[in-house]
Structure 1
Amino acid sequence: MKPYSFDIEHISLVFIGKFNPSIISPHWLAYNNFISKTEAEKAKINIIHKDVSSFELDICRFEVTDDKFQISSEIDYSYKHVCDLAQNILNELIHTPITAFGFNLGRHIRFDNEKLRDSFAYTIFNKERFKNIFSEPALFKINLADKQNNDNLIDGRLSLSIEASSLYRFDGVFVLVNNHYQRPGQKDVYGCNDILDSLISNRDVFYDKANSLIIDLFDKSAEE
């Protein structure tokens, strides 16, 4: 039996561009048949304003400003639903200029005890190297990044961060994988066809790659 469990999943899709926050609301989603009228009526609205739109559905949360549109969820198996919503919205707003997008997969991993969590941390960094600087060196946060390309999108970046879990303070860690892609050119951007096409064709690849990266990281550390 593995000495850890993957407890909570965090999913988010983030788009950078020029948006009109006030039009993206639960009722607008229902009007376009992206969600049901019942879901729209049950939505928790934090704020709907020309500068920001923030509301929560049963399965996900929306945060929209004039330069960023984000859908996130911490409900397991919600990824397909989140992607479907994003695709439907981008298709409706196809003329909206979008310059970049990111896919994020995060997991809270809980170990059987604090000692096992610390052992995992020490497979990532060698605390002995810092003994002459710190009396009791401990891993607070680590970030790794790598370049990648995807179809007609450039400046791609895959990043991984590991830090203490906010849910499991003494025996857990939080791991976040981010796939970020930048559209070629920042001037005279019209529409988001290429962003939408990339999301549709790569959505499963994004998830599988990030999920495999996290699983492999912990499986290999458990073998050491």
Structure 2
Amino acid sequence: MSTFSEIPELSGVSIVVIGRFNPLIFSPRWLRDNDLISVEAADGADIEIIHQDICDFVVEQVHVQVTENRLSIGSAHPAARSVARDLAVGALSVLEHTPIRVFGLNTDQHFRMPSVDEWHAVGHHFAPKDDWGDILEDPGTRVVEMLGRLPGTSAYSVNVRLEPSRQIRPGVYFRINQHYSLQDDEEVDASADGYDFTVNRLVECITKDWDEFLAFSSRVPLHLLKAALK
């Protein structure tokens, strides 16, 4: 069996909410005024832009980005994962009447492979090339994506995506999305407005599922890589 580092070389976690937002109110000062961060953290924030169409800043190693229809709060620092969660829950709790359509918990992980041959072996395992030789010259795996459900969570579905890493070579990138929706996306698109989630329901889902989602997201890449490299 091939040996590879079971700790991702790069990783991140985020909470993404699709709804209706006012980007202009989101700022380190607003977070401070609502006791979500300290005065020192607000003063030390790295602000990219705060505008009526978008706000984008980093505070306490957490990246906050808000547009009129999307809020994303996440971190590429493992030690700041709980800070990102608490900031998302806290900010949305203040804005308790925010219309919410869907939301998701996400992880991004990049694993370095011991060699190019083993990197290829992962792609060959999940997307065998035997039937492609007469169609394409030098076929290679671009994306493998699976959609399913995860018992014991409030999520509507879970999507697992793996592909060659663009940041680590040779490396494999995993994107895991735990998707929350009260109905099929097609039904949401056809409904009157589709904004069915309440903030209280969102907070309840995140609080209940967060730890298990992180544990699941840690298990999945290792399970798949070990299966491919055994």
Length-normalised TM-score, structure 2: 0.88
C-alpha distance in 1 between matches for 2:105 and 2:163: 19
Determine the C-alpha separation between the residues in 1 that align with 2:148 and 2:106: 15
* Conserved? CA contact 2:23–2:55, under 8 Å: yes
* 1:114 paired residue among 99, 113, 116: 116
Aligned to 2:51: 49
Question: How much has 1:49 moved relative to structure 2?
Answer: 1.1
2:92 maps to 1:93: no
Q: Deviation per CA, 1:153-204: give whole Å up to 9, x if none.
A: 67x1211111221211x31121101011113575574741111111111111
Residues 101, 197 of structure 2: 8 Å contact kept: no
Aligned length: 220
Q: Percent identity?
A: 25
**Where does residue 128 of structure 2 map in the other structure?**
126
Following TM superposition, by how much is the alpha carbon of 1:48 offset from its aligned partner in structure 2, in angstroms? 0.7
SS at match of 1:140: coil
What one-letter code is carried by the residue in structure 2 that aligns with 1:81? V
Query: Quick check: 1:96–1:190 contact (8 Å CA) kept in 2?
Result: no
| Superposition pairs of residues 65-80 of structure 1, within 5 angstroms | 65-80=67-82
- CA 1:128/1:33 → structure 2, altered by over 3 Å: closer, same or farther? same
Are 1:3 and 1:116, in contact at CA under 8 Å, matched by a contact in 2?
A: no
Q: For 1:153-192, what aligned pairs fall within 5 Å after superposition?
A: 156-168=156-168, 170-183=169-182, 186-187=193-194, 189=196, 191-192=198-199
Question: Is the 8 Å Cα contact of residues 19 and 195 (structure 2) preserved in structure 1?
Answer: no
CA change 1:47–1:220 in 2 (3 A) is same
1:14 correspondence with 2:21: no
Instruction: Tell me if structure 2 keeps the 8 A contact 1:47–1:54.
Output: yes
Confirm or deny that 1:207 pairs with 2:214: yes
| Uncovered stretches (5+) of structure 2, i.e. residues with no partner | none
Q: Deviations over 1:9-45 (max 9, x none)?
A: 1111001111111111111111122111121112111
User: Does the 8 A contact of 1:105 with 1:211 survive in 2?
Assistant: no
The residue type equivalent to 2:75 in the other structure is S
Deviations 1:42-86 (A, max 9, x none): 211111111111111241111101111101211123221111111
Letter of the aligned partner of 2:96 in structure 1?
A: I
Aligned CA RMSD, in angstroms, stands at: 2.1
Which AA in structure 2 matches 1:162? L
Q: C-alpha separation between the residues in 1 aligned to 2:94 and 2:78?
A: 27
Alignment partner, residue 105 of structure 1: 107
Normalising by structure 1, we get a TM-score of 0.90
Task: Pick closer, same or farther for the CA change 1:2–1:49 going to 2, 3 Å.
Answer: same
3-state SS, counterpart of residue 11 of structure 2: strand
> 2 CA distance for matches of 1:189 and 1:219?
40
> Residues of 2 paired with 1:25 and 1:149: CA distance?
37
Q: Which structure carries more strand by proportion? A: 1
Task: Give SS of 1:174's match.
Answer: strand
